[in-house]
Amino acid sequence: MTEKLPNKFAGAPCATDEHTEWMRKHRGSRWDWLLAGEDKHSANRRRAASAAICTSCPLTARKNCAALHAELVDHTGYTVPGVWAGEIYRDKVDSPNRVNLASIPTLPFEAEAEAA
C-alpha cells in the first residue's frame, strides 16, 4: 500500500474545484501574469484581486507557495511571473537578463525527465 503524500497546498483558494472551473472558463489561472485576450488594465485588477485572495490562504500553504516560487527561480534561472504567496512577480520587464519561464513551452527539468 502506498502512503499518501501530505498536500502542501491544503485549503489554498487556488486549489479548489471552484478555481479549476474558473481556469477552464478562462483558459488560465487567476494567479497567472497575463491571460489570453486580457488587456493590461484588466490583468492589473485581476492580479491585485488574486493577491488579496492569497491573504486567506492557510499559512502553511502560503509558505510552501513562496518556497515553490523561489525553488523554480533558483532551479531554472528564469523569471516566474504571476501571483505567488500574495506577491505579484512581474513579467521579464523587471529582470531583462532573464527569460520569462511562462513563455517556455517545456520546462528544462521536464525535458530532462522525458529524456531519461
Site for ligand SF4, rule CB under 6 A: 9, 12-14, 31, 53-54, 57, 61-62, 65, 83-86
Q: How far is the CB of 48 from ligand SF4 (least distance, A)?
A: 13
Residue 57 or 101: the one with the smaller Cβ distance to ligand SF4 is 57
Number of continuous H segments (helices) and E segments (strands) in the chain: 4, 2
Residue appearing with cell numbers 516566474: 80
Q: How far is the CB of 24 from ligand SF4 (least distance, A)?
A: 17
Residue 52 or 104: the one with the smaller Cβ distance to ligand SF4 is 52
Tell me if 86 sits within 8 A of 54, measured CB to CB: yes
Residue appearing with cell numbers 483558459: 27
Residue 49 or 111: the one with the smaller Cβ distance to ligand SF4 is 49
Tell me if 31 sits within 8 A of 52, measured CB to CB: no
